[in-house]
Amino acid sequence: MTDRLSGPDVAAAVLAEALPYIKRFHGKTIVVKYGGNAMTDEHLKQCFARDVVLLSLVGMSVVVVHGGGPQIEHLLARVGKTGEFIQGMRVTDAETMEVVEMVLGGQVNKDVVNLINQAGGRAVGLTGKDGGLIRAKKLLLDDREHPGQQIDVGQVGDITQIDPSVIAHLQNGAFIPVIAPVGVGPAGETYNINADVVAGKIAEVLKAEKLVLLTNTPGVLDDKGELLTGITPRQIDDMIADGTLSGGMLPKISSALDAARNGVKSVHIIDGRVEHALLLEILTDHGVGTMIKSR
């Protein structure tokens, strides 16, 4: 007997279900943030690359922004350093900046480019320095415990300008841009920027149809650990105030909300540990994870 969950009728139904989504997103820009925590398993990495290629081949203009937090941690440990985070931002001294640039602009960027190319795509890797893509100044965090005071986290960048022309050239040539979150300051200094922040800003500037943030949780979880399928700005404020949202989720959620408020039509935080999570989110009725609402 044919397995009802995997028989040809099911396969046909799934393919047919994708058609309205393919039509809706054809020619549109989809920004995908690939978190360092979602890129730990080789098989999942290959699934991700295949999803990106499939979406490109059906006519979507996919732009990948990647992170690499755990990969940076790994190299820092090898040089005898331990990472420190404040409000989800890595405290970045000069030596840490060298490691961050090596890992993000080198190892991780080329790994993602290679995976996509192996899957049949044409990816080109960039950091924010290439083509003056990401300009930044030094970020100063507001000290929540001492209102009015600021915290210096070293060479962490606050984005001042995105020049998307290099991305446009790549999109026109049917290349898939793969962007590492490193920015450049007015004097040519290098800045480490949280990858969620870069993805959100790039999505805004490109007027993306969708921003999808792939991470290592099912989405945004409430104080009981239950998945929230949708979240409003008010819920976000409450959850930050009571500590339900913390660590790496802080820059993620605020970038997601900024993007939703500034014209990106839909913004989702999804579980990158689920095989083909990207296809499920974009091409099926079964949206996965949390959708961030602008109001």
Ligand X SMILES: CC(=O)N[C@@H](CCC(=O)OP(=O)(O)O)C(=O)O
Ligand Y SMILES: Nc1ncnc2c1ncn2[C@@H]1O[C@H](COP(=O)(O)OP(=O)(O)O)[C@@H](O)[C@H]1O
Alpha-carbon gap, residue 183 to 71, rounded angstroms: 19
CA separation, residue 80 to residues 40, 88, 92, 100 (Å): 22, 21, 15, 14
What are the binding residues for substrate? 68-69, 90, 192
Q: For ligand Y, which residue has the nearest CB? A: 248
Q: Is 219 in the site for ligand X (CB under 6 A)?
A: no
Which of the residues 34 through 73 are near ligand X (CB under 6 A)?
Answer: 35-37, 67-69, 72
Alpha-carbon gap, residue 239 to 236, rounded angstroms: 5
Shortest CA distance to 103 belongs to which of 75, 84, 65?
A: 75
Q: Which stretch binds ligand X (CB under 6 A): 32-40, 47-55, 144-152, 281-289?
A: 32-40
Binding residues for ligand X, rule CB under 6 A, total: 17
Instruction: Please answer whether residues 92 and 85 qualify as being in contact, where contact means their C-beta atoms are separated by less than 8 angstroms.
Output: no
Stated length of the chain: 295
Alpha-carbon gap, residue 4 to 1, rounded angstroms: 9
Q: Is 194 in the site for ligand X (CB under 6 A)?
A: yes
Give min distance, CB of 151 to ligand Y, in A: 18
3 state DSSP class of 146: coil
Give min distance, CB of 90 to ligand X, in A: 4
Which of the residues 178 through 207 are near ligand Y (CB under 6 A)?
Answer: 196
Q: Which residues bind ligand X (CB under 6 A)?
A: 35-37, 67-69, 72, 89-90, 100, 156, 181, 192-195, 248
Q: Which residues bind ligand Y (CB under 6 A)?
A: 35-38, 67, 69, 196, 215-217, 220-221, 244-249, 252
